[in-house]
Amino acid sequence: MKVAALTVLALWAILALIGPLLPLEPERMELIHILDPPAWDGWLGWDDLGRPVLDRLISGARTSFLVSIGVVTISFLLGTAFGTIAAYLGGWWDLAAIRIIDVFLAFPGMLLAIALAGLLGPWISNVVIALGAVGWVGYARLARAQVLSLKHREHVQAAHSLGVRGTQIILRHLIPLILAPLIVEATFGIASVATAEAGLAFLGLGVQPPAASWGSMIRDGTRYLLVAPHLVLAPGIALAAIVLAMNLLGDALRDRLDIRQSVRLSNTT
């Protein structure tokens, strides 16, 4: 399963990165092929405007990949910095950080993202901003909890005694020790963001036509589900495969980076 998951994710990344270099025509319309099923000259068929579904699926893979990587990167950096600094400083800084996190958690994440995307406008950069604005909270909570359990360790206290500056303590003695759970969180976050991006596109708040997105492809295909199910099946299966592969990779990383489990396994052997 791990090999299959890595293969799916590698294919997703490769298609997203080299997609602009491929001879694709996702916006080319052939009226004679409207709603035609898959055939030898169109492996995934054509949509309601006669556009090749395969070309649009690959173009949508680029949209999904860029949004997922962009949102997770912003959320990871912002949330880790916020949670780490708040926990390290402690006192009213930590109390204020908790209140800010609680405010964001009081709103359902997807609803807040929909509201932000609606206010900012339906563009891919605004989708990244909207999802990043709600995605950093999980990383901040995790980073804060990890730092609270580490900042009183002997090596941190020794660094304090030697007069090491706080920024150096955070970067050298705290951040490296909390990266493992944050990386696992990021892998699951990519799957969540891919689903959220498709959801926003389905609602018309993602990339706009004629640009392709898996969510908008599913939305347009639902009108012809009985006569042309391939319009929904192709992007739906692609999205499900990415989410499943990402979750499997996250589970594998969690097991691999879990030090306590590794110690237990070594003791049993």
Domain ranges of the chain: 2-268
pLDDT of 263 > 50? The answer is no
Q: Does the predicted model carry a pTM greater than 0.85? A: yes
**Structure confidence at residue 71 (pLDDT):** 95
Among 49-58, 148-157, 242-251, the minimum mean pLDDT is found in: 148-157
pLDDT of 92 > 80? The answer is yes
**Structure confidence at residue 190 (pLDDT):** 94
CATH homologous superfamily for the domain 2-268 = MetI-like (1.10.3720.10)
Closest to 236 in 3D by CA, of 205, 195, 208, 187: 195
Classify each residue of 235-250 as buried b or exposed e, where b means 16 or more C-beta atoms within 10 Å of its C-beta.
Answer: bbebbebbbebbbbbb
Mean pLDDT (whole number) for 129-144? 92
Which stretches of the chain are DSSP H helices?
2-18, 53-89, 91-105, 109-120, 124-150, 154-161, 166-169, 175-202, 214-221, 230-257, 259-268
The DSSP secondary structure of 172-220, one letter per residue, reads IIIHHHHHHHHHHHHHHHHHHHHHHHHHHHHTT-SSPTTS--HHHHHHH
Q: In Å, how far from its chain's centre is CA 182?
A: 13
pLDDT of 1 > 60? The answer is yes
Mean pLDDT (whole number) for 80-105? 92
To the nearest whole percent, how much of the chain has pLDDT over 70?
Answer: 95
Residue 205's pLDDT band (cuts 50, 70, 90): confident
**Structure confidence at residue 265 (pLDDT):** 35
**Alpha-carbon distance 65 to 20, whole Å?**
13
Residue 195's pLDDT band (cuts 50, 70, 90): very high
**Structure confidence at residue 75 (pLDDT):** 95
Mean pLDDT of the chain: 89
